Amino acid sequence: MLPRIKDYLTRHQGEETTPLLVADNDRKETLEVPLAAVALLARILAHMAAGRGVSVIPVHAELTTQQAADMLNVSRPFLISLLDAGEIDYHTVGSHRRVRAESLLDYRRRDDERRRMAADELSTLSRDLGRVAKGSW
């Protein structure tokens, strides 16, 4: 099913909505849904097919430090160090820190980009060192 959904999304890029057939026992009904919802469904199905759990969290949701640490798959003390360093925005409610899911996702995107850049640099260095070792420089 997932390949069919991906193919559908590719063929309908740029469209805002799409009809969705909902079948329940003997009833069938067509609903108009945002294409982004179908793309999200495809991502959820891909994670489920890989045996990974899925949680849907609104971007405006406020998370405890433990929930935020769990989302990043890091320890709570490490997350606190990221908060204290200003890497992730947060605010306090009484004496407790709260992290907006949006801030957490922004951090994850920035961190992923830093990792990609570092991997690209290592790949370039490795390729250049290979040339030096072969004497082709």
42 with 70, same domain: the answer is no
pLDDT of 136 above 80: no
| Domain limits for position 20 | 2-49
96, amino acid identity: H
55 assigned to some structural domain: no
| pLDDT of res. 128 | 83
Number of domains in the chain: 2
| pLDDT of res. 54 | 86
94 with 34, same domain: the answer is no
Using one digit for the tens of pLDDT, what is the confidence trace for 76-118? 999 999 999 999 999 999 999 999 999 999 999 999 999 999 9
Pick from 19-33, 42-56, 87-101, 123-137 the range whose average pLDDT is largest: 87-101
Distance between CA 36 and CA 13 in Å, rounded?
A: 10
Average pLDDT over residues 7-17: 89
57 assigned to some structural domain: no
Using one digit for the tens of pLDDT, what is the confidence trace for 39-81? 998 889 899 989 988 888 888 899 999 999 999 999 999 999 9
117 with 85, same domain: the answer is yes
Give the β-pairing of 96-100 and 62-63.
Answer: antiparallel
pLDDT of 132 above 80: no
- With cut-offs at 50, 70 and 90, classify the pLDDT of residue 122: very high
2, amino acid identity: L
Residue in the structure block whose two tokens are 């570092």: 118
As to burial, measured by CB atoms within 10 angstroms (0-12 exposed, 13-18 middle, 19+ buried), residue 99 is buried
